[in-house]
A = this chain, B = another copy of it.
């Protein structure tokens, strides 16, 4: 197939590497000529340009821009596409993207490959980024099934674990396991900074170990990421935050009233439940579960 990639960052670049290695002809569009040249030089794409005209021969186009740019990008893309071309995106929130883009192009399949490191940009592109990683495909009722299947087939060819769900269920679940943790972790760092005793803070900085490091990691990342989550998944994030606050209050209440039986029950429940959320066990570098297409 001729596959287009608009946005040659870490996700777009990694897609390019894998799709070329599967024998597709990959055409890229980026905002800067330097990016286009680098992508060609690294053999991430067969050709790249700042001009959308290059997308005319594309059968399928991945839009891999920041979320805010997805709909505007599709608007620029549409005049150049053949009528049978499919567009898909890789944005980490689905409902607002699906709502904004589906009216612009009927053969649009919202998607979300859940892969990537904290590094961004074309330099961070690597092969096999999507292998064994979840890849959510979230068609609307109006999305042509054949288009959905085409995107799913490509995702499966990258050895990703494909999951179908609605955009709403996708956004609800990522609110729990991705967006809420960022706010919870950031609040933890912020709380420590509120400590008025400079001695206590200095000691805390010396004593903090892997427990603190791990619990706070996602709360100390690039602010743009947390901003994106809050802006685009605001409703689900607020819902999760309010539920979180209620559960936190239950812990506080148990400790305040010295209700140790209740506290023990909470902690036992969380110990029992956590393994169900672990595709990756706690040991370093263990391979993930090898689930195939679902």
Chain A contacts to B: CB under 8 angstroms: 114, 134, 136, 161, 163, 165, 169-170, 172-174, 176-178, 180-195, 197, 199-201, 203-223, 226-227, 230-231, 234, 237-238, 240-252, 255-256, 258, 260, 263-264, 266-271, 273-280, 282, 284, 291, 294
Most buried by B among A188, A219, A243: A188
**Contacts A271-B221, A274-B189 known; A238 to B252 CB distance under 8 Å?**
yes
Work out how many copies of this chain go into the complex.
2
Contact A217 B214 (CB under 8 A): yes
Contact A192 B208 (CB under 8 A): no
Q: How far is the CB of A258 from chain B (nearest CB, A)?
A: 7
Contact B248 A187 (CB under 8 A): yes
**Contacts A176-B195, A216-B277, A274-B216 known; A203 to B165 CB distance under 8 Å?**
yes
Q: How far is the CB of A262 from chain B (nearest CB, A)?
A: 11
Partner of A279, one of B208, B248, B249: B208
6 more contacts with CB within 8 A, not counting A177-B212, A183-B251, are A114-B207, A186-B267, A190-B247, A191-B246, A216-B277, A227-B267
Partner of A263, one of B170, B208, B226: B226
- Please indicate the chain B residues that have their CB under 8 angstroms from the CB of A243 in the complex: 191, 194-195
Q: How far is the CB of A49 from chain B (nearest CB, A)?
A: 34
- Please indicate the chain B residues that have their CB under 8 angstroms from the CB of A199 in the complex: 165, 169
Chain B residue nearest to A236 (CB atoms) is: B200
Complex-state Cα separation, A250 to B186, whole angstroms: 11
Contact B215 A184 (CB under 8 A): yes
Contact A172 B200 (CB under 8 A): yes
- Please indicate the chain B residues that have their CB under 8 angstroms from the CB of A274 in the complex: 189, 216, 219-220
- Please indicate the chain B residues that have their CB under 8 angstroms from the CB of A275 in the complex: 220
Complex-state Cα separation, A269 to B192, whole angstroms: 12
- Please indicate the chain B residues that have their CB under 8 angstroms from the CB of A237 in the complex: 255
Q: What are 15 A-B contacts with C-beta separation under 8 Å?
A: A136-B207, A169-B197, A173-B207, A176-B201, A176-B204, A177-B207, A177-B208, A178-B212, A180-B188, A183-B248, A188-B244, A191-B247, A215-B218, A220-B273, A227-B263
